């Protein structure tokens, strides 16, 4: 597959000039290793899933790290987190040498514990998600953005099936004592069916026949391995009783389609899950745009107990927020903008821009006004707006 330029590249290069180490986390197969090997072609490469390599390290960790030629890529470092202590020792012997240790991990939370304890002040931390529509036009709601699916779309269903099996056997077992992987596989499908819903752990626990604490543990696994997005509610107090639970989405819409048994784009168009999957696709693209340009992830939704709901609120700095309503339909009517208009009045302390994002047809004009102050735009156009609104 031809290398595709990633949004994160300039940020990685900038950090490599200022920090001894870089840490790149993200879901398995999102392209972390490919990106680092492309950006740092002279770096030595060490895969910390290789049993022989792990055995060599554990037999004599100090000698192993001392013999590593820098710059070096240590791939899937969460498998031997104790290596970070020895890497720190080498960094501290030559603190002025920058960009020498390039670490990847597929389990963000567990890796971050090691980085926080061992590499504080020595490492710049980044997160890489699957490809975005700003990185290649081949990304779609049905296919998602995993690089190998993009490169071989005819084998996408086989790839997703293998990915789920690999994910269960490696990542899930690595962070949990779950023994019944078949039950956890059914849980994945159940979570996919709840895309776009406010998280209700009791509703997830009942059909699985497990406890709410177990559901909490399983959701935590999905989050730390980069499979789901939990979008929190906008927390400002507007004198309303607000919903406090997050909304749930899959990071990759293609994986969500696979888990739901949706095997073709036409089947997706007919599916009752089209709306929620499109909403999740928009959420993921916003987050990819934010973290891909070195910004903090800032994405919220709004829902109060009186029924006012807006899909997304994106802070844009300088007292500005962007309100987004995501609609999978190709045609949107003015009434779709009603919730945006109502919320704009509630958040009057902010400067507000509001948009309805939908699946536009090629023959449509670049933007179209629904009502005064609110435009109907595509996902790509929304990302352009967010880029211009960067704080």
Q: Which string of DSSP letters, residue by residue, matches 349-390?
A: TSEEEEEEEE---TTS-S-EEEETTEEEE-HHHHHHHHHHT-
Q: Which CATH number fits domain 9-127: 1.10.3720.10, 3.40.190.10, 3.40.50.300, 3.30.565.10?
A: 3.40.50.300
Rounded to whole angstroms, the Cα distance separating 325 from 311 reads 5
Rounded to whole angstroms, the Cα distance separating 341 from 346 reads 9
Closest CA to 257 of 273, 244, 242, 245: 273
pLDDT at 78: 84
Rounded to whole angstroms, the Cα distance separating 299 from 288 reads 11
Kindly state the average pLDDT of the residues 101-106: 90
Question: Is residue 225 within 8 Å of residue 172, measured between CB atoms?
Answer: yes
Q: What is the pLDDT confidence band of residue 80, given thresholds at 50, 70 and 90?
A: confident
Which two three-digit tokens encode residue 97?
Answer: 């040498």
Question: What DSSP character marks residue 142?
Answer: T
Kindly state the average pLDDT of the residues 33-50: 94
Q: What is the pLDDT confidence band of residue 169, given thresholds at 50, 70 and 90?
A: confident
pLDDT digits (tens, 9 = 90+) for 173-215: 776 767 778 888 899 999 999 999 999 999 999 999 999 999 9
pLDDT digits (tens, 9 = 90+) for 247-260: 999 999 999 999 99
Number of C-beta neighbours around residue 17 at 10 A: 8
CA angle 283, 278, 240 (to 5 degrees): 55
CATH architecture of 295-388: 3-Layer(aba) Sandwich (3.40)
Closest CA to 42 of 71, 16, 18, 67: 71
Domain coordinates in residue numbering, the chain: 9-127, 147-290, 295-388
Is CATH 1.10.10.10 the right assignment for the domain spanning 147-290? yes
Report in angstroms the alpha-carbon separations of 7 from 24, 246, 326: 14, 27, 23
Report in angstroms the alpha-carbon separations of 21 from 25, 81, 100: 13, 15, 6
């Amino acid at each position: 597959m031809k290398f595709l330029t990633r949004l994160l590249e300039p940020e990685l290069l900038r950090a490599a000039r200022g920090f001894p180490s870089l840490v790149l986390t993200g879901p398995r197969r999102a392209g972390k290793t490919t990106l680092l090997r492309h950006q740092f072609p002279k770096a030595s490469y060490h895969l910390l899933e290789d049993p022989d390599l792990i055995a060599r390290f554990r037999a004599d960790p100090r000698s192993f790290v001392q013999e590593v030629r820098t710059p070096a890529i240590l791939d899937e470092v969460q498998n031997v987190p104790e290596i970070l202590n020895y890497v720190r020792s080498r960094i501290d012997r030559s603190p002025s040498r920058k960009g020498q240790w390039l670490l990847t991990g597929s389990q963000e939370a567990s890796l971050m514990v090691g980085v926080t304890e061992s590499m504080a002040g020595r490492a710049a931390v980044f997160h890489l998600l699957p490809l975005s529509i700003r990185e290649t036009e081949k990304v779609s709601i049905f296919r998602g953005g995993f690089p190998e699916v993009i490169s071989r779309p005819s084998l996408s269903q086989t790839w997703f099936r293998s990915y789920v099996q690999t994910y269960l056997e490696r990542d899930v077992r690595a962070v949990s004592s779950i023994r019944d992987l078949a039950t956890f596989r059914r849980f994945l499908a159940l979570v996919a069916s709840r895309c776009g819903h406010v998280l209700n752990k009791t509703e997830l626990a009942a059909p699985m026949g497990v406890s709410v604490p177990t559901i909490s543990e399983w959701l935590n696994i999905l989050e730390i391995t980069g499979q789901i997005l939990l979008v929190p509610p906008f927390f400002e107090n507007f004198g309303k009783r607000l919903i406090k639970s997050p909304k749930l989405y899959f990071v990759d819409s293609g994986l969500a389609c696979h888990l739901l048994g949706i095997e073709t784009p036409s089947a997706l168009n007919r599916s009752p899950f089209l709306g929620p999957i499109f909403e999740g696709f928009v959420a993921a693209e916003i987050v990819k745009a934010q973290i891909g340009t070195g910004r903090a992830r800032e994405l919220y939704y709004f829902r109060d107990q009186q029924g006012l709901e807006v899909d997304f609120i994106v802070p844009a700095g300088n007292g500005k927020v962007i309100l987004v309503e995501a609609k999978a339909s190709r045609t949107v009517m003015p009434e779709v903008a009603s919730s945006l208009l109502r919320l704009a009045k509630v958040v009057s302390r902010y400067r507000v821009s509001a948009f309805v994002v939908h699946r536009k047809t090629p023959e449509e004009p670049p933007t179209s006004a629904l009502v005064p102050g609110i435009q109907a735009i595509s996902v790509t156009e929304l990302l352009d707006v967010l880029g211009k609104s960067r704080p």
